[in-house]
Amino acid sequence: MMFTTKAEYGVRLLIELGRQGSESEGSVVSLKAIADAELLPLAYLERIVAKLKKAGLVESTRGAHGGYRLARDASQIRMDEVIIALEGQLAPMTCFVDEPDGDAEPRVVCHHNHTDGHACATKLLWTRVLGGVQSSLQATTLDELVRFSQRADVEPTSDAAPTAA
């Protein structure tokens, strides 16, 4: 398996926030409400949302009637940023270190060009896998997921199942 429940819960949390809209609308959602809606442990969600806040993806209001809201519009939140915030560096293998200098190139660095001359050929493979993951994450925005959840929510049988779409 590739991702932990931090990613799963964190994304579900963001989707719940996305249903309420972003900063412009002012309404905040308490973690308790999200924990109840998604059947997730509150104390664990606290640690997850802290990562999202540190990454600047959500904002918080403390005190009574406080809660969280999206820091930007859901259409401006791409999933690669979310997953990195939740899981840390995105790398298919331990020896891969992604240095965040440029933004377009992956810039993977493998450091066990072991003893004799030849570098590890697995580098080619992991680079491709990383590319596949990154592109699929970058291509997905939060509001896509929000809309997907609302479609599945409101009318589960209305339109034809878009499996091949």
Partner DNA sequence: GTCTTTCCCGACCTTCTCGGTAGGATTAGG
Partner DNA sequence: CCTAATCCTACCGAGAAGGTCGGGAAAGAC
**Using CB distances below 5 to 8 A depending on partner kind, what does residue 30 bind out of DNA, a copy of itself, none?**
DNA
What is the C-alpha to C-alpha distance for residues 15 and 162, in angstroms, rounded to an integer? 21
Residue 123, judged by CB atoms within 10 A of its CB (0-12, 13-18, 19+), counts as middle
**90 makes contact with DNA (CB under 7 A):** no
For residues 94 and 78, is the Cβ–Cβ distance under 8 A?
A: no
**43 makes contact with a copy of itself (CB under 8 A):** no
Among residues 80, 90, 55, 83, which one has the least CA distance to residue 70? 55
The amino acid occupying position 120 is C
Of 25, 36, 56, 66, the one binding DNA by CB under 7 A? 66
- What character string, x for contact with DNA (CB under 7 A) and - otherwise, covers 93-132? -x--------------------------------------
- Give residues in contact with DNA (CB under 7 A): 4-6, 9, 30-32, 41, 43-44, 46-47, 49-50, 53, 60-68, 94
